Chains A and B, each alone.
Chain A
Amino acid sequence: MSSLLVIGVGNPDRGDDAAGWIAAKRVADRCQGWVGGGPGKVRVCQSAGDPASLIDAWDGAEDVVVIDAVVTGGPVGTVCVVDLLRQPGFPVGRQVSSHGMGPAEAVALARSLDTLPASLTLVGIEAKSFTPGDGLSPGVLEGIEAALDLIEARHRGGS
């Protein structure tokens, strides 16, 4: 089973944009109990999400999961999974993620620099509000838990 790096992306003070950070913290709390879990097997970090920081964060890692708030128009809290290396239509420069320049741009930059990990997956949590100072919208916390279950199942399955 390969080691896993989980990167929570977002801004803890900007409403639902905190989802990635909260999810990363929850992974850190939960992964000790996972098969293959523990400090050497699952690493967790938080990132503001700009491409340079993300490329820094996944430097040397092979299996990377990025958790971020996304806006696709779906119900709040819905979880989506995107293979960032193989999703042919993933739009660079669009606000799919909650950041103007985020995971998609980081993938494009890392591809130019030949610094992509072997596996790079986005777990997106559908968000609604990014108002500074606000808490999470109803449904986002449930989305975070669903994202955690999904990441754990993926890690247990070794895929």
Chain B
Amino acid sequence: MHNTDTTRSFDVAALSRVEGEGSLRIRVEGNTITDLEFSIFETPRFYEAFLRGRHYQEVTDITARICGICPVAYQTSAANAMERILGIDVGHGIRDLRLLLYLGEWIESHALHVYLLHAPDFLGYPGGIEMAADHPDIVKRGLRLKKLGNAIMAAVGGREIHPVNPRVGGFWSGIRPEVLHAMRPEIEWALDAALATVEWTMGLPFPELTPEYEFVAVHDPDDYAVIDGRIRSSGGLDIDPAEWNETFVEEQVERSNALHARIVGRGSYLAGPMARFAINRELLHPLALDAAARAGLGAQESNPFKSIIIRAVELVHATARCLELVDGYVEPTPSFIERPPRAGEGHGVSEAPRGLLFHRYRLDESGHITDAQIIPPTSQVQLTMEEDLRALLPGILDRPDEEIRHTVEQAIRNFDPCISCATHFLTLEIERT
């Protein structure tokens, strides 16, 4: 910390418990925020350029490497886009298996974020390690939930990190029913644990903040959308993924390696669990809908700090749906659908644990990629993160710097930012004059 008569500022070496690397600089004059910049400075990884010239069937293996936390999301959005070009309808059996794999990723990611990354903020601990010392049974519950998510990913995806079984058109290898049935007892335990997670999170202390968001999420009329659908918003958008580039715009921002997305003619928007809940709440599994009502969540929840409850509600939905999928499973044969390559453009969306993930590809007649566009959720919500902080800070500027820093970090973690997806880690600087 550096103090002078006129200026007070401090640097925090890194914001922990986020996936990625970036920085937040806040300049305050008196009680007025004059500058606030959230930056991402990891070297861009040029995946979109790297994909050009590759065969369409390589896309699930390559895009899975973009993120260690949500590889299935990348694989699914990519496969959706390719299947549109190739005219493939994978059918219900493959769709159900794809959903089961994806829900495994939700369980793994949400359990990690709720229990080890976000909850310590609410309970006043520096991190999950310190929280575990006082609440070992709670942390063990979270780790066991996460382990189930990993087990589902390994069983269906071939391995839990960068799954190798998904492909355009389905799965390289079929999954025998007994493999899934063996997980049923643990999924039953997980459903109870998820319900207990809602009860636990609803009792946490929540800072006051209720911004007016435009929520944007994938919508499926038949299910709480995860693996595919149209794109809807609380502001009236209802578009096919092919209309993305007429509806959303990405802007290069000098301070950041990630592009910033906004709705054309309107501005920032919120993707992620809160947006899914706002757009698709009535499509939650009945047990999750009941749990949400008991937690006091209304039709829309605007306090971003309560996103931890919504993630817990989504854990209930995910585990309940996994039980249904396992109980109703009939091995799809064949395990994949294949069509001859053809030239064209395809768009794919899905709901990564932290929000909507958009992919677009162009193929030539031999099935090789000539153009790729990937818009991860974290880059979509960067503007909203800055706006939340602008709304939050005036009410806490009279507090000690350490308390401000804690609340700001907590607010950033509301978004479960996977910065490594967007282009790793946050340096926080507050300067007062």
- Chain B residue numbers with a CB within 8 Å of A32 are none
Judge whether A109 and B50 touch: CB under 8 Å. Answer: no
- Chain B residue numbers with a CB within 8 Å of A133 are 45, 50
Judge whether A56 and B43 touch: CB under 8 Å. Answer: no
Alpha-carbon separation in the docked complex, A46 to B150 (Å): 13
- Chain A residue numbers with a CB within 8 Å of B150 are 53, 56
Q: Among A13, A51, A100, A109, point to the contact of B65 (Cβ < 8 A).
A: A13
Which of the segments B87-95, B135-143, B268-276 contacts the partner chain? B135-143
Q: Among B130, B132, B147, point to the contact of A113 (Cβ < 8 A).
A: B132
Alpha-carbon separation in the docked complex, A105 to B136 (Å): 15
- Chain B residue numbers with a CB within 8 Å of A105 are 129
Asked whether A11 is an interface residue with its Cβ less than 8 Å from the other chain, the reply is yes
Judge whether B129 and A52 touch: CB under 8 Å. Answer: no
Interface residues of A in 97-137 (CB under 8 A from B): 100-101, 105, 108-109, 112-114, 131-133
- Chain B residue numbers with a CB within 8 Å of A56 are 143, 146-147, 150
- Chain B residue numbers with a CB within 8 Å of A53 are 150
Alpha-carbon separation in the docked complex, A114 to B136 (Å): 9
- Chain A residue numbers with a CB within 8 Å of B139 are 109, 112-113
Alpha-carbon separation in the docked complex, A100 to B13 (Å): 12
- Chain A residue numbers with a CB within 8 Å of B143 are 52, 55-56, 113
Judge whether A109 and B129 touch: CB under 8 Å. Answer: yes
Alpha-carbon separation in the docked complex, A105 to B17 (Å): 12
Judge whether B116 and A48 touch: CB under 8 Å. Answer: no
Interface residues on B, range: 20 to 34
- Chain A residue numbers with a CB within 8 Å of B341 are none
With CB as the reference atom, state the residue of chain A lying closest to B135.
Answer: A112
Judge whether B68 and A100 touch: CB under 8 Å. Answer: no
Known: A112-B129, A112-B132. A48 touches B68 (CB 8 A): yes
Asked whether B253 is an interface residue with its Cβ less than 8 Å from the other chain, the reply is no
- Chain B residue numbers with a CB within 8 Å of A46 are 161
Alpha-carbon separation in the docked complex, A101 to B117 (Å): 12
B16 → chain A closest CB, angstroms: 7
- Chain A residue numbers with a CB within 8 Å of B140 are 113
Which residue among A47, A52, A92 has the maximum number of chain B CB atoms within 10 Å of its CB?
A52
Asked whether B133 is an interface residue with its Cβ less than 8 Å from the other chain, the reply is yes
Judge whether A131 and B43 touch: CB under 8 Å. Answer: yes
B127 → chain A closest CB, angstroms: 8
Alpha-carbon separation in the docked complex, A101 to B133 (Å): 17
A-B contact count (CB 8 A): 51
With CB as the reference atom, state the residue of chain A lying closest to B147.
Answer: A56
A109 → chain B closest CB, angstroms: 5
Judge whether B14 and A100 touch: CB under 8 Å. Answer: yes
Asked whether B224 is an interface residue with its Cβ less than 8 Å from the other chain, the reply is no
Asked whether B112 is an interface residue with its Cβ less than 8 Å from the other chain, the reply is yes
B112 → chain A closest CB, angstroms: 6
- Chain B residue numbers with a CB within 8 Å of A51 are 116, 128-129
Asked whether B425 is an interface residue with its Cβ less than 8 Å from the other chain, the reply is yes
Q: Among A13, A52, A109, point to the contact of B112 (Cβ < 8 A).
A: A52
Interface residues of B in 77-96 (CB under 8 A from A): none
Interface residues of A in 4-33 (CB under 8 A from B): 11, 13
A31 → chain B closest CB, angstroms: 20
Interface residues of B in 116-158 (CB under 8 A from A): 116, 128-130, 132-133, 136, 139-140, 143, 146-147, 150
Judge whether B116 and A52 touch: CB under 8 Å. Answer: yes
Alpha-carbon separation in the docked complex, A109 to B321 (Å): 31
Which residue among B45, B65, B129, B143 has the maximum number of chain A CB atoms within 10 Å of its CB?
B129
- Chain A residue numbers with a CB within 8 Å of B129 are 51, 92, 105, 108-109, 112
B155 → chain A closest CB, angstroms: 15
Interface residues of B in 12-56 (CB under 8 A from A): 14, 16, 43, 45, 50
B143 → chain A closest CB, angstroms: 5
- Chain B residue numbers with a CB within 8 Å of A47 are 161
Alpha-carbon separation in the docked complex, A13 to B112 (Å): 23
Which residue among B132, B147, B150 has the maximum number of chain A CB atoms within 10 Å of its CB?
B132
Alpha-carbon separation in the docked complex, A52 to B160 (Å): 13
- Chain A residue numbers with a CB within 8 Å of B147 are 52, 56
Alpha-carbon separation in the docked complex, A47 to B150 (Å): 12
- Chain B residue numbers with a CB within 8 Å of A92 are 129
Alpha-carbon separation in the docked complex, A131 to B116 (Å): 28
Alpha-carbon separation in the docked complex, A11 to B43 (Å): 16
B246 → chain A closest CB, angstroms: 32
- Chain B residue numbers with a CB within 8 Å of A113 are 132, 136, 139-140, 143
Judge whether B146 and A52 touch: CB under 8 Å. Answer: yes
- Chain B residue numbers with a CB within 8 Å of A101 are 16
Judge whether A100 and B146 touch: CB under 8 Å. Answer: no
Q: Using a CB–CB distance below 8 Å, which chain B residues touch chain A?
A: 14, 16, 43, 45, 50, 65, 68, 112, 116, 128-130, 132-133, 136, 139-140, 143, 146-147, 150, 161, 424-425
Can you spell out 8 A-B residue pairs with CB atoms less than 8 angstroms apart? Answer: A50-B112, A52-B112, A52-B146, A100-B425, A112-B139, A113-B132, A113-B139, A113-B140
Q: List 8 extra interface pairs beyond A100-B424, A112-B132, CB under 8 A.
A: A47-B161, A48-B161, A93-B16, A100-B16, A109-B128, A112-B136, A132-B43, A132-B45
